[in-house]
Structure 1
Amino acid sequence: MSTTTPALLDCIEHETGPAPAWSVLWLHGLGADGHDFVPVVPEVLRPHWPAIRFVFPNAPVRAVTINNGVRMRAWYDIVDFDLANRADEDGVLESIAQIDALIAREAERGVPASRVILAGFSQGGAVTLAAGLRRSTPLAGLVGLSTYLPAARNAAAALVEGAARQPVFMAHGTQDPVVPLAAGRQSAAWLREAGFDVAWHEYPMPHSVCAEEIVDLGNWFDARFAAG
């Protein structure tokens, strides 16, 4: 992976108040864009929370192998339906570097990594978990929705000291046809064994987000803000 700082991704931003003290970076899924989770903001917000900057980056447009090479927004190429070989590891690392650049920008804007939460759905969640393993400066938390830990066979080698101090919220649909529930459970179990504090939730839904999940996520956010 290149050591040069990547160009900043185009982002949609929403600030809940002046001079945000916290930031939430939220990564969309395959073929979506930064607008995808903007409607979640008013649903998850609580009146007593500090001012938050929500940042919704747009993934680069790239060819996706399993979609016959059609170009779309993707955090990495999907090269196989088998989860063990699904993620293009170079693409994952490229996306991690781009997210790290956004986290560094938040620090420049007055929000240190300790008050940044990195969240993602599906492919965006996979990048979130992979990035979390490599964070020697821990974030306030990691959120992985309907997702899995990519390149799990190399995860132990990627794990850095201090990364397990990041609390994790993971949620998955029991009827998910895209990322099997078992893959989410296995990823959560691996993270727990590695020392992460993982809050795991399951809901009777497909590859999507539900109202109960947003309530549970809000409770988890609440605990992070209180701890911070």
Structure 2
Amino acid sequence: MTQSSLEAIVVEPTSKAASCVIWLHGLGDSGAGFAPVVPVLGLPSDHSIRFIFPHAPEQAVTINGGYIMRSWYDIKSMDLHDRADITGVQASELQIKRLIEQQISAGIPANKIVLAGFSQGGVMSLFTGLRFEQSLAGIMALSCYLPGGEHLPEQLAQANKATPILQNHGEQDEVVPLFAGKMAYDALNHAGYNSVWKTYPMAHSVIPTQLSEIGQWLNKVLN
């Protein structure tokens, strides 16, 4: 995997951007998969949030027969404790950190940046956010798990110990089992992190009610 900057879809607010949401997609998707959610979030019309939807690099994915697709890391097996290729996770973390640092350099402070993700992207938002050495506005982890199962990542950064974390999961998720998301929440909660857990009557997806509540959460943590 190259260490070049990630390509991304950027949705600018009508006013000058004062905050930013970096939203990471799931396996086989692209930034285009979540870019259309911005109007559905119900944000105030004069909000000043820049949304960035990066595209994961293309690589072979073991559980899909080595098929090449957009992926933040290789998925080696369905075993939760050996699912995520940690080398790939760390390589994507570097690229995501670079995206955050680009926004900081552009004048948006870390505490006005939310790192969000769905499925594989949610794994990356948790892993990267928990290890990032500046305090973020929030971390959003949708329908995902920790790469270490019930274990938090190594080299955690104290900077995000009190950062608001939003964890959502579908009660009928057939891709990432509900217990995997709950296991991640329990690990965070046990370690004293500021995480909120909520389930929805859905499969491995997002639904309008959830997106509206995500919009309310973003409005709260970014203001």
TM-score, normalized by length of structure 2?
A: 0.95
SS in 2 for 1:158: coil
Shift of the alpha carbon at 1:48? 5.9
> 1:62 and 1:96 mapped to 2: Cα distance?
16
Question: 1:1-228 residue pairs with structure 2 within 5 A?
Answer: 6-47=3-44, 50-152=47-149, 155=152, 157-226=154-223
* Contact 1:122 1:179 (8 Å CA) reproduced: yes
* Contact 2:118 2:143 (8 Å CA) reproduced: yes
Shift of the alpha carbon at 1:220? 1.0
- CA offsets 1:121-165 (integer angstroms, 9 cap, x no match): 000000000112211212100001111111246525332222212
Amino acid at match of 1:207: H
> 1:80 and 1:164 mapped to 2: Cα distance?
30
SS in 1 for 2:154: helix
The farther-off stretch of 159-168 and 136-145 is: 159-168
Shift of the alpha carbon at 1:221? 1.0
SS in 1 for 2:21: strand
**How many percent of aligned residue pairs carry the same amino acid?**
44
SS in 1 for 2:158: coil
> 2:150 and 2:209 mapped to 1: Cα distance?
33
SS in 2 for 1:119: strand
> 2:140 and 2:153 mapped to 1: Cα distance?
20
> 1:189 and 1:154 mapped to 2: Cα distance?
10
> 1:125 and 1:196 mapped to 2: Cα distance?
16
CA RMSD of aligned residues (A): 1.7
* Contact 1:142 1:169 (8 Å CA) reproduced: yes
Amino acid at match of 1:79: K
Count of residues in Structure 1 that have an aligned counterpart in Structure 2: 223
> 1:137 and 1:10 mapped to 2: Cα distance?
23
- CA offsets 1:46-80 (integer angstroms, 9 cap, x no match): 22663111000000000000000000000000001
Amino acid at match of 1:77: D
> 1:147 and 1:184 mapped to 2: Cα distance?
6
Q: Do the aligned partners of residues 146 and 156 (structure 1) sit closer, same or farther apart at CA in structure 2, a change above 3 Å counting?
A: closer
